Structure 1
Amino acid sequence: MSQTAWLSKRLDSGKILCQACAHVCKLDEGEYGICGVRRVIDGELKLLVYGLAAAVNIDPVEKKPMFHFLPKSRVFSVGTVGCNLSCQFCQNFDISQYPKEHANRIVGREFPPQKIVEAALENGCESIAYTYNEPIVFFEYTYDTAKLAHEKGIKNIYVTSGYETKKAIDLLEPYIDGMNIDIKAFREEFYQEICGARLKPVLEAVKYAHEKGIWIEITTLLIPGKNDSDEEIRDIAKFIASLDTSIPWHLSAFHPTYKMLDIPRTPESTLLRAYKIGQEEGLKYLYIGNVDNGDYESTYCPSCKHRVIDRSGNIGQFVTNELDENGKCPYCGYSLEGVWH
């Protein structure tokens, strides 16, 4: 299936400008965007994966990871093929990089917005997550689905690398309730050499989405020898704290995958070191991921330090939430930041 990728415009030069992501590709007839799923056909930019899902699952919302967003609830997760980044450590490279590695071939099963919303309702999901690959590359598909979902009382989550344009965020803002955004590193060389992207647009997107009132959680995958120095970890922590100390930061362990099979797993000591640095910079909510350690996956009240959301087992497997429907701590009355209902 394909549909006009309407987040675009024709330039005086005759090229078509894609306005979805920070690459802002300028394309001639027949050319594909960097993502591999947006192409100019007959003078119009087309989204080649509209209504074509490559991955669909029902998950605990904690797996996104979203820890301050409807805890213990189910989320309907959907993604397509294609991505505007080319991260050498991608865990979902089989779908995200599929068009680039298969001569622009598009795959997926028909799953239009109406069917996604119906399936979410039928399965008792309180939200829909656009995830697995980068959702901004299938913007129009996510937009139509999210708008319809909101009409049915379902919330929406973007799990993203943070390469959205301000124009895209403006359009998404009425319908996207939460975003988990990757800050993959804090060095330009890392983004250019390992991800095929730039750092600055990511930081701008995080800041802008937060200003728009979308609930933000940040994830950083710590890769040994690549982005795990004390200095770089502290720079990320300082950036998050400069926006809002209540933004949760998920520090995740790397495991060898895709084009980084020669890099070892992240030792737990690195994650604990990063956790401590985050605390030193004043961040209220820090989490360690991809390791089984409930003490560092649980939520503590910033005021009285009681454990108010207990998480153990595989993420989302065992969750006990003591907060009331407004996120209030039962021990001291502090209102924890998040989306609780």
Structure 2
Amino acid sequence: MKETCRVCIHHCSLEPGQTGLCRARKNENGRIICGNYGQVTSLALDPIEKKPLNMYRPGSLVLSVGSYGCNLRCSFCQNHEISMAGTGDAGTVYISPEDLAEKAREYRVIGNIGAAFTYNEPLVGWEYVRDSARLIKETGMDNVMVTNGTASLEVLEELLPYIDAMNIDLKAFREETYRKLGGDLEAVKAFITRAAAGCHVELTTLVVPGMNDGTEEMEEEARWIASLRKDIPLHVTRFFPRYHMTDREATEVERVHRLADAAGKYLEHVFVGNC
């Protein structure tokens, strides 16, 4: 029986055995399930600033976990080996929510504050995030998430009780650009708006030459963020050629700083990254 996945904007209609665009969700016996549940491709103890989260418990470490799959198709993806992978394409190890919570607790003695769901797009496997984050919160530790924000508000509501901080990619501030990436700007804006009302949020915009590097666009973005709250941190980061986008040079450092200065006219906290 064909079923429709409601996790994100794509609403993939799947026959039994079919996998969605994200490569992580599938129709199994007439029911949409999380196919990458507990299938971990990456596990590392990272500085929280690497997420990047500069204004949430700075100086701490967080156990970072990722699986495979993503519901966008960014040609400049930095983690394409796992984000664009499906079942069997990337080496995985099964780690149950209970085991992840235990690992987070074990590393507490060396400064770990909890878990970060990151590396691939965690929302395509949101059930694992929810189940793990709930157990981690029960130990008195924190949960953070790095996401593209392309998920339904219903999914976000399921997670907000357990997530303390998020870094959300705001990849551009033009709808046509988002369409090229397989996304929807208005959906991401709605996600950011709700998330910022429920937990600590920082945003990241990767400045890609010829795609989103205009000063006018950055000022529009910053004004919109400020309309939510002027104290939401924005990370303006430098692009380097990656994946399918090797047809251009890295963003000029001067351009990144210029756009950060433009955003700083409206926002209290603007950070420059990768420079």
Aligned pairs (5 A) from 1:263-282: 263-281=248-266
Work out the CA distance in 2 between the residues paired with 1:169 and 1:74: 25
Matched, 1:206 2:192: yes
1:123 maps to which of 80, 103, 107: 107
Work out the CA distance in 2 between the residues paired with 1:21 and 1:107: 25
Work out the CA distance in 2 between the residues paired with 1:117 and 1:181: 23
Work out the CA distance in 1 between the residues paired with 2:247 and 2:119: 23
Shift of 1:107: 4.0
Matched, 1:108 2:95: no
Work out the CA distance in 2 between the residues paired with 1:61 and 1:174: 20
2:121 maps to which of 134, 141, 145: 134
Match of 2:200 in 1: 215
Match of 1:174 in 2: 161
Aligned pairs (5 A) from 1:56-71: 56-71=43-58
Match of 1:30 in 2: 17
1:76 partner letter: L
**C-alpha deviations, 1:196-235, integer Å up to 9, x for none?**
1121111110011122x21110000001111000111111
Match of 1:228 in 2: 213
**C-alpha deviations, 1:118-163, integer Å up to 9, x for none?**
1111112102111001110011111100000000011111100011
**C-alpha deviations, 1:58-107, integer Å up to 9, x for none?**
000000000111111110000111111110000000000012xx8x7464
Work out the CA distance in 2 between the residues paired with 1:118 and 1:37: 25
Work out the CA distance in 1 between the residues paired with 2:2 and 2:85: 26
Matched, 1:287 2:274: no
Work out the CA distance in 2 between the residues paired with 1:263 and 1:205: 31
Q: Normalising by the residue count of structure 1, what TM-score does the alignment of the two structures yield? A: 0.77
Q: Name which one, 1 or 2, has greater alpha-carbon Rg.
A: 1
Work out the CA distance in 2 between the residues paired with 1:54 and 1:128: 15
After TM superposition, the runs of 4+ consecutive aligned structure 1 residues lying more than 6 A away are none
Shift of 1:19: 2.5
Q: How large is the RMSD of aligned CA atoms in angstroms?
A: 1.4
Shift of 1:55: 0.8
Shift of 1:32: 1.4
Work out the CA distance in 2 between the residues paired with 1:163 and 1:227: 19
Matched, 1:155 2:142: yes
Gap regions ≥5 residues in structure 1: 1-13, 292-341
Query: Percent identity, aligned pairs only?
Result: 39
Work out the CA distance in 2 between the residues paired with 1:22 and 1:152: 34
CA contact (8 A) 1:48 1:106 kept: no
CA contact (8 A) 1:19 1:168 kept: no
Work out the CA distance in 2 between the residues paired with 1:191 and 1:265: 21
Match of 2:183 in 1: 197
Name the SS of the counterpart of 2:103 in structure 1. helix
Q: Aligned in 2, Cα 1:242/1:85: closer, same or farther, shift over 3 Å?
A: same
Matched, 1:54 2:41: yes
CA contact (8 A) 2:81 2:90 kept: no
Deviates more, 1:117-126 or 1:52-61: 117-126
Name the SS of the counterpart of 1:146 in structure 2. helix
Work out the CA distance in 1 between the residues paired with 2:164 and 2:263: 25
Shift of 1:27: 2.2
Work out the CA distance in 2 between the residues paired with 1:225 and 1:37: 31
Q: Normalising by the residue count of structure 2, what TM-score does the alignment of the two structures yield? A: 0.95
Name the SS of the counterpart of 1:39 in structure 2. strand
Match of 1:95 in 2: 82
For these two proteins, the number of residue pairs brought into alignment is 272
Name the SS of the counterpart of 1:153 in structure 2. coil
